[in-house]
Amino acid sequence: MTDIVLAHDYLVQVGGAERVVAGWAQGFGARRIVTLAYRPETTFDEFTRLDVQATLSPALATQVERLLPALPSIAARTTVSGGDVALVSTSGWAHRFRFEVPHVVYVHSPARWLYAADDYRLRLSPLRRAGLTVSTPLLRRGDAEAMQRASAIVSNSVVTQARMRAAYGLDSVVVHPPVEPVAPDAAAPTRDLPDAFAVVVARDRGYKNVPLAIVAARTAGLPIVIVGSGSESLDDPAQGVHGLGRVTDAELCWVYREAVVVIGAGREDFGLTVLEAALEGTPAATVATGGYLETVQPGVSGFQAASATADDLAAAIRRARDLDPEAAREWARGFSRDEHLARLARVIEEVVQRA
């Protein structure tokens, strides 16, 4: 059996990429993971069962994003060794680690801080934004050199595959992320929610475009539930906005099941949440861009807005409400974990045989 070592940018949040890596640990029987930072209290419990090698101290792990100017050099000094092959999850850092074994790089997105500056830098101070702008050409050179050292490159979507070609001039194969129910059982959140509501699952990131989702839901006549770290700051029940913050997987499962529709308003490279909701029978209303073009089947699992405006997204919400829940479930089952693991295993096997 191939001994696989995992690598990931940093384990400090509950997000789609972290859920993918947790699935790898179980599916491939991996026992060790190398990362820049680890906060067990703010990420998936599954990682407590692994041997986690984190470069940064627990104190610095709470400030990882503030360390941006130093992270490229810290990543380059993070060594991955042992095992037959490394399976690397990256959207900016882990592919820059120093690998002493062959490594397969699974790309969720080319580094947004370098190649999607308008998305990432919205959250930076003017001084840090200016510093990053000046240093970007040099940082891109080092980033590209690190990516070129990969034994094989896998993109999570056709969108990411195209962005990889644009950013690095490199080809990659597409293996969609695994989609499984987020929990075996549902549990209602501790607070009361409306009988009928839309949901958006998004952390506090500008490119998630939560304000558009809020306005679109209101235009469609629905209150909205927002799930994700930082969303509690948007909580305003009197205006039909229910920011729950971070919730348990069982609570997220309940929200998916009970929602009338899940909204995708941001710029996503894949769009995992609309498929998670579809597995619970909930259709999607999204903007017609990015990964949503792959994860939503119009007229079956949801509808896409004619333009990225509140009125058109509201129209998609109204249409999606009438779709058959079982058809949405059947569509989402096509993105199974077994299929994901089988396709990745073939890539890994080819790399090991060449080594």
pLDDT tens column, 309-325: 999 999 999 999 999 99
Q: Which has the minimum average pLDDT: 65-74, 79-88, 100-109, 313-322?
A: 65-74
Per-residue confidence band for 1, with pLDDT thresholds at 50, 70 and 90: confident
* CA within 13 Å, CB half, 209: 21
Cα-Cα end-to-end distance for the chain: 16
Residue 207: pLDDT over 90: no
Instruction: State the average pLDDT for the chain.
Output: 92
- Long-range CB contacts (< 8 A, 24+ apart) of 299-302? 299/323, 300/327, 300/328, 300/331, 301/274, 301/327, 301/328, 301/331, 301/332, 302/261, 302/262, 302/274, 302/278, 302/328
Q: Which has the minimum average pLDDT: 57-61, 107-111, 152-156, 269-273?
A: 269-273
Report the share of the chain in percent with pLDDT over 70: 93
From 220, 230, 229, 226, select the one nearest 191 (Cα to Cα).
226
Do 231 and 205 form a contact (C-beta atoms < 8 A)? no
From 166, 149, 161, select the one nearest 86 (Cα to Cα).
149
* pLDDT recorded at residue 201: 94
Token couple for 292: 């949503």
Strands 4-8 and 32-35: parallel
Domains and CATH numbers, the chain: 4-178+336-354 (3.40.50.2000), 198-333 (3.40.50.2000)
* pLDDT recorded at residue 208: 80
Distance CA(288)–CA(274), nearest Å, equals 13
More confident site: 1 or 351: 351
Helix (H, G, I), strand (E, B) or coil at 86: strand
Token couple for 207: 């490119």
Residue 204: pLDDT over 80: no
Distance CA(223)–CA(193), nearest Å, equals 9
Token couple for 218: 């209101």
* pLDDT recorded at residue 225: 98
* pLDDT recorded at residue 268: 84
More confident site: 269 or 46: 46
Count of all residues that appear for the chain in the document: 355
Distance CA(71)–CA(220), nearest Å, equals 43
H or E element in which residue 89 lies = strand 85-90
* pLDDT recorded at residue 143: 94
Distance CA(237)–CA(226), nearest Å, equals 11
Handedness of CA 76, 80, 81, 85 (dihedral sign): negative
Residue 51: pLDDT over 90: yes
Distance CA(220)–CA(229), nearest Å, equals 25
Q: Which has the minimum average pLDDT: 93-102, 153-162, 215-224, 261-270?
A: 261-270
* pLDDT recorded at residue 114: 83
* pLDDT recorded at residue 138: 81
> For the whole model, what pTM was predicted?
0.80
Tens of pLDDT, residue by residue over 100-143, are: 999 999 999 998 878 866 555 545 566 666 666 667 788 899 99
H or E element in which residue 305 lies = strand 302-305
Give me the mean pLDDT over the 268-282 stretch.
93
* pLDDT recorded at residue 326: 98
* pLDDT recorded at residue 131: 61
From 340, 351, 235, 242, select the one nearest 22 (Cα to Cα).
340
